[in-house]
């Protein structure tokens, strides 16, 4: 059995199988690869801010960025940290981390990536210019950094942070001098990182890259192309027709079609909890916990998992998944109980039901099926849920506070990326959020702040479990299930793995 990349996924050509232990079923020999090969990839969307490494957070963004940038560290789905640009790290007390970088690293433009370049990236991350980017906003508590020697960096934190090495998996260092020389707009289309590919062309809907053979590791194909294909059926068709080698973010309904044309599937768990997120801050019915709980009781989640997801996964109970640190194993899912849902609605002053709206995107896997299932089930208890389809950029703009919410709920996942840690979700789903766009409950903030200050791992886990119980009891979302990732591969693709959104681009073979 062979492990690929930072972890592995189960690659199957037969029935749909998912496992919490990600494995590749058969070892693949390492042949001599024809260097003229191009790996053609279809994803949901290109990054909103194009090739800015510090803006890597969303699934599609990280999938692409990880081809052109190496991360400082990598995390597997159990929360174990593995080396990236940093070969090792060591805590010194509770407010200092020392990183040892790999020697002789180069950016795509030939400049050296060393401790000085790492410090430049951290200072950029802390600056007004850098804080606008989503990746750096998710690294909390860093106060300063200094170069000790060419390969040693000392990072000071503003509070105890036992998981800083895990957080650094979201830091994809850029060549800051080049960024400053050409400006953000030009750099975004001509990014300079340390990844196994360098960008050779960036145009609407398509990004091209060529192999970078002077990095820490080199790819096995000469070129890569990313194609923006927003809808699932079109990504599947591209794979079936042989125009695409890898189709990302598919759903269970696509399995038979891919197998029917001789394709393969990469299937495995994620650290994402699928939900219909409630807008608790916006004045309206969602501010009443009884209505939020009624929605959870009204939906038959077990039936959806069994009949639609059709994979080895769990109905969700809280904002973290069962493979994340801080997960509270004592919590049970809201049972399917329409009578209880109706009683709660009546208690909340809506004995005859009410009308709600949800803004959703539909381009990812079974999102559309999930929301149709929710709307159908809640209708049985008197809730008329109007589904309004919006674009992915519109949803992101609303999340960032750039546009106003116009709904009671919306499509979003609780995401454990990149730390696989329950506190990761509090960065967006609590009063810690930089926009406070949809969830801010002051009564839980002392426990959230305590967890973020606690360096003792066992004590911190206990606090996180208390926070998870609060979120479950408050029904901050309609908790559906722990998401399974399904990617489609052409028959000519070998050695594919996606773990924690980072794809092992260096190791993929196209025959």
CATH of the domain at 14: 3.90.76.10
pLDDT at residue 108 in the model: 97
Pairing relationship of beta strands 477-489 and 246-247 according to DSSP bridges: antiparallel
Nearest-angstrom CA–CA distance, 29 and 497:
15
List, in sequence order, every beta strand (DSSP E) within 337-476.
Answer: 354-360, 383-389, 409-415
| Structural domain contains residue 446 | yes
Residue 274 and residue 417 in one domain: yes
- β-bridge mates for residue 339, sequence order: none
Alpha-carbon distance 409 to 375, whole Å? 12
Q: Evaluate the CA torsion angle 238, 239, 241, 244 in order and state its sign.
A: positive
Q: Is residue 4 part of a domain?
A: no
Peptide bond into 288 cis (omega under 30): no
CB count within 10 Å of CB 351 equals 12
Cα torsion 55, 99, 2, 79 to 10°: value is -70
pLDDT score for 3: 31
Q: How far apart are CA 11 and CA 418, in angstroms?
A: 23
Tokens of 182: 């050409």
Distance CA 401, CA 435 (A): 6
Residue 333's nearest CA partner among 319, 321, 316 is: 316
C-alpha count within 13 angstroms, C-beta hemisphere, residue 247: 32
Report which DSSP code applies to 309: I
Does a structural domain hold residue 199? no
Residues 147 and 95 in one domain: yes
- What local confidence, expressed as pLDDT, does residue 63 receive? 92
Q: In this structure, what token pair is assigned to residue 23?
A: 């494995």
Judge contact between 249 and 59, C-beta under 8 A. yes
Are 149 and 292 part of one and the same domain?
Answer: no
User: Would residue 197 count as lying in a domain?
Assistant: no
Q: Is 341 helix (H, G, I), strand (E, B) or coil?
A: helix
Q: Which domain holds residue 168?
A: 10-192+490-510
What is the rounded CA–CA span in Å between residue 224 and residue 217? 16
Identify whether 5 is part of a domain: no
Q: Are residues 453 and 503 in the same domain?
A: no
Q: Are residues 467 and 505 in the same domain?
A: no
The residue written with tokens 């994809």 in the block is 172
Is 502 found in the same domain as 353? Answer: no
Residues 292 and 425 in one domain: yes
pLDDT at residue 35 in the model = 57
- 409: β partners: 278, 358
Q: Tell me the C-alpha distance between 412 and 409, whole Å.
A: 9
Specify the pLDDT at position 435.
Answer: 65
pLDDT digits (tens, 9 = 90+) for 421-475: 898 888 889 998 766 679 999 999 999 999 988 999 899 999 999 999 999 999 9
Rg (the chain; Cα; Å)? 22
Q: What is the CATH number of the domain that holds 480?
A: 3.10.105.10
pLDDT-above-70 percentage for the chain: 92
Which H/E stretch holds residue 294? Answer: helix 289-298
User: Within a domain: residue 163?
Assistant: yes
Paired tokens of 454: 């606690």
Environment class of 97 (CB within 10 Å of its CB; exposed 0-12, middle 13-18, buried 19+): buried
Q: Tell whether 260 is covered by a domain.
A: no
Q: Spell out the per-residue pLDDT of the chain, length 511, in tens.
A: 333 334 444 455 433 333 333 322 223 333 344 458 999 999 999 998 999 999 988 888 999 999 999 999 998 877 789 999 999 999 999 999 999 999 999 999 999 999 999 999 999 999 999 988 888 888 888 999 999 999 999 999 998 999 999 999 999 999 999 999 999 999 999 999 999 999 999 999 999 999 998 889 999 999 999 999 988 899 999 999 999 999 998 888 888 888 888 899 998 888 889 999 999 999 999 999 999 999 999 999 999 999 888 777 899 999 999 989 999 999 999 999 999 999 999 999 999 999 999 999 876 667 788 999 999 999 999 999 999 999 888 888 888 778 888 899 999 889 888 888 898 888 889 998 766 679 999 999 999 999 988 999 899 999 999 999 999 999 999 999 998 888 999 999 999 998 888 899 999 999 8
Angle of helix 289-298 versus helix 367-379 axis, rounded to 10: 100
Task: List pLDDT tens digits, range 58-102.
Answer: 888 999 999 999 999 998 877 789 999 999 999 999 999 999 999
The residue count for the chain: 511
Counts for the chain of helices (H) and strands (E), in that order: 15, 23
In 279-415, where do the E strands start and end?
354-360, 383-389, 409-415
Residue 97 neighbours by CB under 8 Å, 6+ apart? 89, 90, 91, 154, 155, 157, 161, 164, 165
Residues 506 and 392 in one domain: no
Together in a domain, 173 and 33: yes
Instruction: Give how many domains the chain has, as a whole number.
Output: 2
pLDDT of residue 364: 64
Q: Are residues 283 and 164 in the same domain?
A: no
Residues 87 and 100: beta-carbon distance below 8 Å? yes
Alpha-carbon gap, residue 483 to 485, rounded angstroms: 6
61 lies in the same domain as 166: yes
457 and 330, same domain (yes or no) = yes
Could you tell me if 71 and 84 are in contact, meaning their C-beta atoms sit under 8 angstroms apart?
Answer: yes
Confirm whether 225 is domain-assigned. Answer: no
Q: For 375-408, how does the pLDDT look when each residue is reduced to its tens digit (9 = 90+)?
A: 999 999 999 999 999 988 888 888 877 888 889 9
């Amino acid at each position: 059995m062979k492990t690929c990349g930072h972890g592995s996924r189960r690659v199957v050509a037969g029935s749909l199988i998912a496992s919490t232990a990600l494995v590749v079923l058969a070892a693949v020999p390492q042949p001599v690869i024809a260097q003229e090969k191009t790996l053609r990839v279809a994803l949901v969307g290109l990054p909103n801010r194009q090739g800015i490494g510090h803006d890597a957070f969303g699934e599609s963004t990280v999938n692409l960025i990880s081809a052109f940038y190496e991360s400082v560290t990598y995390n597997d789905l159990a929360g174990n940290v593995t080396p990236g640009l940093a070969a090792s790290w060591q805590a010194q007390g509770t407010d200092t981390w020392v990183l040892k970088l790999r020697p002789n690293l180069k950016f795509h433009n030939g400049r050296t990536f060393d401790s000085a370049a790492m410090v430049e990236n951290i200072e950029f991350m802390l600056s007004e210019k850098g804080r606008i980017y989503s990746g750096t906003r998710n690294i909390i508590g860093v106060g300063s950094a200094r170069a000790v020697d060419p390969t040693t960096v000392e990072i000071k934190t503003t509070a105890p942070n036992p998981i800083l090495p895990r957080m650094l998996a979201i830091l994809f260092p850029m060549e800051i001098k080049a960024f400053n020389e050409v400006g953000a707009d030009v750099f975004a289309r001509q990014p300079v990182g340390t990844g196994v590919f360098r960008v050779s062309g960036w145009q609407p809907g398509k990004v091209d890259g060529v192999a970078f053979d002077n990095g820490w590791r080199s790819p096995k194909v000469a070129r890569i192309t990313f194609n923006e294909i927003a809808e699932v059926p079109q990504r599947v068709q591209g794979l079936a027709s042989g125009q695409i080698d890898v189709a990302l973010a598919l759903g269970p309904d696509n399995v038979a079609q891919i197998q029917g044309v001789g394709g393969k599937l990469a299937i495995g768990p994620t650290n994402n909890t699928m939900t219909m997120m409630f807008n608790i801050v916006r004045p309206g019915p969602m501010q009443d916990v009884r209505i939020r709980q009624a929605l959870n009781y009204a939906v038959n989640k077990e039936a959806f998992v069994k009949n639609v997801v059709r994979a080895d996964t769990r109905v969700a109970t809280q904002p973290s998944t069962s493979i994340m640190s801080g997960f509270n194993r004592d919590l049970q899912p809201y049972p399917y109980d329409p009578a209880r849902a109706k009683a709660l609605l009546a208690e909340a002053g809506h004995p005859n039901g009410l009308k709600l709206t949800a803004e959703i995107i539909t381009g990812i896997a079974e999102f559309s099926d999930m929301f149709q299932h929710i709307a159908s089930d809640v209708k049985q208890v008197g809730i008329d849920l109007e589904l309004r389809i919006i674009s992915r950029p519109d949803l992101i703009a609303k999340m960032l506070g750039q546009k106003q919410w116009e709904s009671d709920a919306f499509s979003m996942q609780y995401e454990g990326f990149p730390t696989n840690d329950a506190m990761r979700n509090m960065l967006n789903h609590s009063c810690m959020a930089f926009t406070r766009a949809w969830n801010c409950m002051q009564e839980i903030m002392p426990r959230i702040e305590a967890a973020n200050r606690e360096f003792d791992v066992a004590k911190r886990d206990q606090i996180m479990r208390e926070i998870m119980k609060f979120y479950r009891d408050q029904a901050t979302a309609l908790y559906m299930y722990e998401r399974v990732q399904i990617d489609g591969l052409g028959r000519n693709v070998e050695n594919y793995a996606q773990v924690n959104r980072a794809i092992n681009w260096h190791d993929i073979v196209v025959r």
